Structure 1
Amino acid sequence: MYNPNSVRLWWLALAAALVPLLTIHLTFFVSVIEGYVSFCIPYWDSCTSISRTGRYGTAYFIFKGTMLPAAIIGVLFWWCNRMWLAQLGLRSASVAWVPWLGLVAGLALAAYTVALGHEGDGFNLMRRIGVVLYLSLTFLCELLISGALRLHPSWSRPARGLLGLCQLTLAVGILSVLLNAFAPELYRRTDDAFEWVFALLINAHALWLALLWRKSGFRVRFWVD
């Protein structure tokens, strides 16, 4: 039921999807313009990592200035996803984990962002742990949300599409692991491309959720009369 004191939040999901995605492309082009990386198509040329695009020059400040807010937006996004499913009548023990997994993912993204551009074993470890936790926990949140949504009779069709996107993301991750294990030379030539593709897929999932939030009319009440 409509409540005049509630607000629609699909724009929050849209920001959770687009802010990190647009940031990495913006910092890539800025780094190209400033000469820190060569122009290429990173999704298949595997010419530069996402980290390198935000490590030098103007891109360094752009990356930190947008990714730190993106971490906060991501935490709110996953917290609201649980509320969205509750409004749809979907409650489960697995979904209850989503806000907490999202919180750790947001903290991991923040840690990775802070460490980026700084040298030293401690910063390198912080960056590696941060990016692994962020990507893996974000994927897990997306999988849990998609699985829960599949149980709703009116939303099972888009849920199957979301689960298909999760399967594709998982396949990309498994392929990268297999290449690293059995063809390390090939993996070293393609690992950056895997990173770009994985980031694209997880943000595409968030964008799809934003469209579903809008379609469902998801609203949240932040204050009382």
Structure 2
Amino acid sequence: MVADSPRIPLWPLPLLLTLLFVMAAHVAYLLSIQGGHVPACVPYIDGCVSISRAARHGWGNHLFQLLVIPCAVLHALAWWLARHWLRGGRAMVVLGVMSAIALAVYATFLGTEGEAYRFLRRYGVVVYFGFGYLAQLALMRRAAATKALPAGIVVAMSWISIAMLGLGVANVVAGVVVDDPSAKDRWENIFEWWLGLLMVGWHAVLAYGWKRQGLALELT
């Protein structure tokens, strides 16, 4: 009788990248407050600081890089596994991997100075959110078409995506209608914190879907 091949469940992977990013942003912010680098507030409501500024200085910066760079690797791995799971989706995996690379670039150059470094940080944020969002849409579309996930999971993912789109539109509108530069910065910071939370929260829902489906990697 042949023993069953060992199986590694896949759902902890997207859950882990969610937890790493959330921990990195919030613990880095607390360390920056403790070091006197940033003011203390509830950034989701008050918008006193952006994620970048919260993790730009001192020990907060070191911890952010220590956690987010491995998080970027897990992002890329999750998209690669998603392509094999869905048996297709080349555009999805390309967008997802490029988003992961951009996150790594952003974390690597956060805290550095100079125009080139500022450009790389800006590139990292825009590509991470933009390409990551498009990859998520592609996964939901393919998962719904192939019924690879329960309908309720796809609906939950879709609501998160709609919320992210709404935040993006609200950010653009705020940039146009709000004249006070400090108020505009506060709104941008609030949108950034919520957008980051929703972006990685989407992966937590994916983890739940993979757990429901019992997806696992067989070691032969």
User: Scaled by the length of structure 2, what TM-score is found?
Assistant: 0.91
- 2:8–2:216: 8 Å Cα contact kept in structure 1? yes
Q: Does structure 1 retain, via aligned residues, the 8 Å contact 2:31–2:59?
A: yes
Amino-acid identity (%): 28
Name the residue aligned to 1:210: 207
More displaced, 173-182 or 197-206?
173-182
Matching residue's letter, 2:155:
R
What SS does structure 1 have at the residue aligned with 2:217?
Answer: strand
> Residues 24 and 54 of structure 1 are in contact (CA less than 8 Å); yes or no, is this contact kept in structure 2?
yes
**Residue 57 of structure 2 aligns with which residue?**
56
Residue aligned with 2:8, SS:
strand
Task: Deviation per CA, 1:140-177: give whole Å up to 9, x if none.
Answer: 11111122222318612221221111011101111101
Give 2:125's aligned amino acid.
V
Local SS of the residue matching 1:55: coil
1:164 aligns with 2:159: yes
Change (3 A) 1:51 1:219: same
Q: List gaps (5 residues or longer) in structure 1.
A: none
Task: Report the counterpart of residue 74 of structure 1 in structure 2.
Answer: 75
In structure 2, give the amino acid aligned to 1:81: A
The SS at the match of 1:42 is coil
Unpaired runs of at least 5, structure 2:
none
Identify which range, 183-192 or 101-110, moves more after superposition.
183-192
Trace 1:15-164 onto structure 2 (pairs within 5 A). Answer: 15-86=16-87, 91=88, 95-151=89-145, 152=147, 155-164=150-159
Aligned residues between the structures: 215
Contact 1:98–1:144 (Cα < 8 Å) also in 2: yes
Distance 1:189 1:112 in 2: 21
The amino acid of 2:83's aligned partner reads R
- CA change 1:173–1:184 in 2 (3 A) is farther
CA distance, structure 2, for counterparts of residue 3 and residue 133 of structure 1 = 42
Counterpart-to-counterpart distance in 2, 1:153 and 1:129:
33
Contact residue 85 and residue 149 of structure 1 kept, 8 A:
yes
Report the CA distance shift for 1:117/1:157 in structure 2 as closer, same or farther (over 3 A).
Answer: same
Q: Using the alignment, how far apart are the partners of 1:187 and 1:52 within structure 2?
A: 16
* 1:194 paired residue among 191, 195, 216: 191
TM-score (norm 1): 0.89
1:181 aligns with 2:176: yes
Question: CA shift at 1:85, angstroms?
Answer: 2.5
Alignment RMSD (CA, Å)? 1.8
**Alpha-carbon offset, residue 207 of structure 1:** 0.4
User: Which letter does structure 1 place at the counterpart of 2:170?
Assistant: L
Whole-angstrom CA distance in 2 between matches of 1:78 and 1:184: 40
Contact 2:12/2:207, CA 8 A, preserved across alignment? yes
Give distance in 2, aligned partners of 1:205 and 1:32: 28
